[in-house]
Amino acid sequence: MILRNLTPTEVPETSSPGIPAAVPEGRLHRPAAVAATCAALAVLLSGSVLLAISLGPAPVPPADTARFLWAALTGGEVAAVDITTYQIIWEIRTPRVLLAALVGAGLSAVGVAVQVMVRNALADPFVLGVSSGAAVGAVGVTVSGGLAGLGLHAVSGGAFAGALFASFLVYFASSRGGALSPLRLVLTGVCVSFGLQAVMSVIIYLAPTSEATSTVLYWTMGSFGAASWSVLPVVTATVLLGIAVLHRRSRSLDVMALGDETAVSLGISPDRQRRSLLVLASLLTGVMVAVSGAISFVGLVMPHLVRLLTGAGHARVLALAPLAGAVFMVWADLIARTLAAPRELPIGVITALVGVPVFITLMRRKSYLFGGR
């Protein structure tokens, strides 16, 4: 029998201690099946976006919504009697729905990467303390009035700065001799998160007004109420570029999922990969948290649902997970702003109410393994 080393392109799809293996039956393992599913999800996402823009406290027929969107994109004319409705569609609902789709796609993709990086099936984009850092930054700016030069984007800027600070703190605290172990990353992230929550509580306690309390509720439960056209270009570029980079590195993620020793034997440096993934995940999560707050369960549940269909291959997972996350987030946001209209529910409440039973159902499936028996 001849033994030879496997290359990254020949990595077997098997379960690992931290990353779940999908059920063999019904896998979308063929490229044609994956492409067809991507096309179906893209069509579903387009229809969901149109319906989400149409529906709200003041519903607009989808045909009229499509007409207003076409007029906005092509510079067409809108009747004077429809100006108010047009402004609701184009200036308020459209950027909000598009932002929801982008954040859903980004959180799902980052969730895939983080679960591989820390080799933990329960990891999500906020396991590194990024959300707590963003909340501290947002509350600190609100209370102190800092970053006033950013105007309406001061709170988002503070949140982004806080998120990056938390990420670098986790990195330097968990790094030992240039090496990053998955266990140290998780434990340090949890520890930093608790510490930043304590700092946030002190800031709120000492705040002279109740404005900080409202701000922290926004950043801990999430909302797209502050969406505007001005924030979309940065979020769009960051999320799309991040997804493209992760997809390009899908083979490296496959190797890392097999364990550090296997990765080294196949010519992959786990520590180098983990450092670059930490920077990328922190940047993506920081941008998304800065515009939407901390939204739970999307980055945790979506990767598992997609793996159930596609198997453990990250090229397929990263092709479908962003689209599935975008569709889910669009509908979650629609429910959040219409279920108790005219009041708006925090979107984190909706994602948790959906994510918890879905996750429990997955755990109870005998054919789906979360890293062991």
List the CATH code of the domain at 26-52+64-71+80-364.
1.10.3470.10
Instruction: Please state the three-class secondary structure of 131-148 as a single string.
Output: HHHHHHHHHHHHHHCCCH
pLDDT in tens, 198-214: 888 888 777 766 666 77
H or E element, residue 116: helix 94-117
- What does the alpha-carbon distance between residue 199 and residue 363 come to, in Å, rounded to a whole number? 35
Question: Can you give the pLDDT at residue 178?
Answer: 66
- What does the alpha-carbon distance between residue 215 and residue 191 come to, in Å, rounded to a whole number? 23
Closest by Cα among 273, 157, 319 to 226 = 157
Question: Can you give the pLDDT at residue 93?
Answer: 94
Question: Can you give the pLDDT at residue 274?
Answer: 86
CA 131 distance to own-chain centroid? 12
Question: Can you give the pLDDT at residue 312?
Answer: 78
H or E element, residue 85: helix 83-87
**Token pair for 98:** 């598009």
CB distance 168 to 275 below 8 Å: no
Question: Can you give the pLDDT at residue 24?
Answer: 43
CB distance 169 to 194 below 8 Å: no
Query: For the chain, which residues make up each domain, given as ranges?
Result: 26-52+64-71+80-364
- Mean pLDDT of each 10-residue bin along the chain, 373 residues long: 43 46 52 87 95 91 92 87 90 95 95 86 80 82 70 75 86 77 83 88 75 69 87 92 93 84 83 86 86 87 87 88 95 91 86 85 63 43
Closest by Cα among 147, 289, 318 to 222 = 289
User: Which residues does 337 contact at the CB level (< 8 Å), separation at least 6?
Assistant: 56, 57, 344, 345
Where does 118-236 show beta strands of DSSP type E?
none
- What does the alpha-carbon distance between residue 368 and residue 357 come to, in Å, rounded to a whole number? 15
Angle between helices 347-364 and 211-221 (to 10 degrees): 30
